A and B are shown apart, each in its own frame.
Chain A
Amino acid sequence: MNVHFHSYDAVIVGAGGAGLRAAIEVAGSVRTAVLTKLYPTRSHTGAAQGGMCAALANVEEDYWEWHAFDTVKGSDYLGDQPAIDIMCREAIDAVIDLEHMGMAFSRTPQGRIDQRRFGGHTRNHGEAPVRRSCYAADRTGHMILQTLYQQCVAKEVNFFNEFQVFDVLFEGEGKDRRTAGVVAYELETGDLHVFTSKGVLFATGGYGKMFRVSSNAHTLTGDGPGLLFKRGIPMQDLEFYQFHPTGIYGFGILLSEAARGEGGILRNGLGERFMERVAPTVKDLAPRDMVSRAIHAEIKEGRGAGPSKDYIYLDLTHLPPEQIDAKLPDITDFARTYLGIEPKKDPIPIQPTAHYAMGGIPTNVHGEVVIDGEGTIVPGLYAAGECACVSVHGANRLGTNSLLDIVVFGRRGGRAMADYVTSVDHPTIGRGAEEPVKARIEELKAGSGTEKVAEIRSTLQEAMTRDASVVRTEESLLDSLATIEDLKKRYTQIKIDDKSDVFNYDLTEALELGHLLDLAHGLVVGALARKESRGAHWRDDFPTRDDKNWMKHTLAHLEDDGSIRLDYKPVIGGKYEPMERKY
């Protein structure tokens, strides 16, 4: 196995929205390498549809403070308010910045950036839905990803495409530990590349492929969080995982909340608009956790649609056809392609789908990775986007706030890393830094195991979707924990078919599965311990929020013996006191 060495001041791992936005900030002033296991334009930011909220007030009165209030309330008071204030305030600048980069926003008749309604976003602290989401039809994420990539092309950012990172390097021990680089595997050759670097920013996205029904790409396997978890970095709030209410039935493919923002209605098998009962003020535009739970209840109580009564309808049939064509072209095409349904005439069968990790690598508002409740950082280590947990989303993210998160905190992380790397000297790494990765790859190729990666993965996905999704109980979580513990044992005995060096996805899928297992383990252990219901974490056996005991962030540690240890850190409050969450 050939090993190559590179030296940079900054390395960015992942080239979706957060990684590219960070790259734009860093490149030019600092010697930077951007590593991605895909091509940048294949990143899953491109699948985001509905928009990016910012209180531009282009179409109606709005203030960033209202946006912040909605985000805090949406987070079920687990979000850190100073970070939420920053995100909602900087949102306005972030949208204008994207427009200046060439982003093709949809426009008002006056030529300004158009805005539309979205779940949980309200005027004046919950009075009524507000038009806050800046969008480009139902392909906002695609436009953001393209725009950021275009700017990276203009700035001649140095990409290493199809380089998959499997390890992070540190220099020193304990308090003197600082970041020293990464080890990457080049897909085309099977060679290893050691990148020494003063700063490393992880922006690897989510890990939704631990669930069977998922809106996530096959490649969303939690590589950044997974490898850091193994290197002793705790993961925050893993038990808070968002299920989007409207995934295409049977596929899990996302149908944007923008469909409801444009006037779409959810109906049960009897044709009833059940969200009127659950959220009388905002109805179908309630936050995602509440809508997914309401769908779950309709189905459980026998009011689902279809022969097995196991789905719900998203009804767009009353919308003007020209509005559907102009505002929702892609998602209506998805319904035609995958279900053979014409959404202008017939309602679309949907079910909740695993969508977004609120938890992840703990960071502060500068993107610096924070490893405890005292705010201790590892110098040079940064994270941004879905893989990170600032925490701006708390227990439940509001729609559109993920695209906002990636541009705001991608920029902040990039800026902080650029400052840091110009103030320190280059790290040194010992000989053989690549050895652990090399040994693991050689072991897998030589492997005498009997277990199939795909079988372990599908067993994990089944268990997580069945036992650890929209509604959880102690019993269901113990079932999933037992499954995961068994799968982690079987994982030590895996074998792969492909022993070759060139584009060995058989090998990389095997390594990715390790990340999914560890993160699922952390998720389930955190969920078992949290004896309350908050945001996306709903326990049927503890169906109320318990601020006295549980208004705190979980930190999960992966121990050397493979077990999970939990501790906690306080939520950072602000001007909004916790109150009952009604919409």
Chain B
Amino acid sequence: MTVTEDKTPSTSPAKAELVRVHMRIKRYDPATDTRPRWQEFEVEMSPGDRVLDALHIVKWSQDGTLTFRRSCAHGVCGSDAMVINGENRLACVNLIRDLGTELVIEPIRGLSVIKDLVVDMEPFFAQYKSVLPFLIAKDDPGYKERLQSPEDRERYDDTTKCILCACCTTSCPVYWANSEYVGPAAIVNAHRFIFDSRDDAGQDRLDILNQKSGVWRCRTSFNCTEACPRGIKVTQAIEEVKRAILYDRV
């Protein structure tokens, strides 16, 4: 490495010029509201701050009743999925400088709103659980690791990245219209085991996903792939599952 050019990160205090961010947030308090309402907030932020940081500024200095889930704050726990400027995103991996100073924030769609940006995640996890999302292997490997070639490991690598944030499922127009649909996230997690060379229950999962609430509901809108904060090729995974059902081949 040669240090010729000063690559100052935009978060450097030396460059931290604040910008005024206007936030329009959809709110709902079950104790007092009969329907959701919009509320506006103004905050001073550095361009390198996360949308989550802006929400925290509001909660911690303007209105402690503003309610949203969050934990890791860097895109690995999946708590803070919300609709930001019309698209499903995690508030902690989107920066002000990338989204601009006008932010419109709503809860993710298709799951019932409990309070402000907090939705009921139970139906989402119930669908996840319905696809047998765990290794089912009939062999007894004894006291040794099972072998798996790097190529076999690579086969299901993309779908191991899922953090169950629900960005994909709640961006799907089919899911909005029909909450019986198992949804992209559950299919991703089925794919992760169907294509794992160590697993023996691929056919059971394909049978589950061949039912009327399964993969055939997918209309290939690609919303899920665009929404995934982990960059998983969700639509492709769904297509691979469809093909496995059609051609009886994993």
Contacts and interface: CB of A to CB of B under 8 A. Distances in A.
B246 interface: no
A130 B67 CA distance: 47
Contacts of A101: 135
Contact of B147 (A102, A111, A219, A340): A111
A107 B160 CA distance: 15
A270 B133 contact: no
Contacts of B15: 307
B174 interface: no
Interface string B114-142: 11101001000100010001110100010
Interface in A83-129: 95-96, 99-102, 104-113
Contacts of B147: 107, 110-112
A218 B141 contact: no
A304 to B, nearest CB: 12
B170 to A, nearest CB: 15
A136 B220 CA distance: 30
B244 interface: no
A307 B163 contact: no
A308 interface: yes
A142 B163 contact: yes
A249 B11 contact: yes
Given A44-B72, A142-B76, A349-B9, A107 B144 contact: no
A112 B145 contact: yes
Interface residues of B, number: 69
Interface stretch (A147-155, A476-484, A535-543, A556-564): A147-155
B115 A502 contact: yes
A267 B12 CA distance: 18
B67 A44 contact: no
Contacts of A269: 3
A281 interface: no
Contacts of A501: 31
A433 to B, nearest CB: 28
- B6, B67, B134 interface centre (most CB from chain A within 10 Å): B134
B70 interface: yes
Given A107-B150, A339-B10, A313 B1 contact: yes
B60 interface: yes
Contacts of A217: 71-73, 77
Contacts of B121: 39
Contacts of A41: 77-78, 163-164
Given A41-B164, A46-B77, A500 B31 contact: yes
Contacts of B77: 38, 41-44, 46-47, 217
| Interface of B: prevailing SS | loop
Interface string A39-54: 1011110110000000
B72 A341 contact: no
Contact of A337 (B30, B93, B157, B164): B93
A306 B8 contact: yes
A96 B73 contact: no
A39 B129 CA distance: 14
A397 to B, nearest CB: 20
B223 interface: no
Interface in B138-187: 141, 143-150, 152-153, 156-157, 160-164
A506 B64 contact: yes
B3 A270 contact: yes
| Interface of A: prevailing SS | loop
Contacts of B114: 188, 502-503
A251 interface: yes
Nearest to B192: A104
Interface in A251-281: 251, 253, 265, 267, 269-271
Contacts of B8: 306-307
B226 to A, nearest CB: 17
A62 to B, nearest CB: 15
Interface in A219-254: 219, 249-251, 253
B168 to A, nearest CB: 15
B176 to A, nearest CB: 22
Contact of B125 (A39, A99, A113): A39
- B6, B72, B163 interface centre (most CB from chain A within 10 Å): B72
A111 B1 contact: no
B48 A250 contact: yes
B29 interface: yes
A565 interface: no
A309 B11 CA distance: 14
17 contacts: A44-B71, A111-B147, A153-B129, A217-B77, A218-B72, A249-B9, A251-B74, A315-B1, A317-B1, A337-B93, A339-B10, A349-B9, A497-B63, A498-B67, A500-B29, A503-B116, A503-B118
Interface of A: 38-39, 41-44, 46-47, 56, 95-96, 99-102, 104-113, 136, 139, 142-143, 146, 150-151, 153-154, 188, 217-219, 249-251, 253, 265, 267, 269-271, 305-308, 313, 315, 317-318, 330, 334, 337-341, 346-347, 349, 452-454, 496-498, 500-506
Interface of B: 1-3, 6-15, 29-31, 48, 59-61, 63-65, 67, 70-79, 93, 95, 114-116, 118, 121, 125, 129, 133-135, 137, 141, 143-150, 152-153, 156-157, 160-164, 193, 196, 198-199
Given A96-B144, A217-B73, 19 more contacts: A46-B77, A46-B163, A47-B74, A102-B196, A102-B198, A106-B153, A109-B150, A139-B76, A250-B9, A253-B74, A307-B14, A339-B9, A340-B9, A341-B7, A454-B59, A497-B65, A501-B31, A505-B67, A506-B59
The 4 closest A-B pairs by CB, nearest first: A102-B135, A497-B64, A250-B11, A454-B60
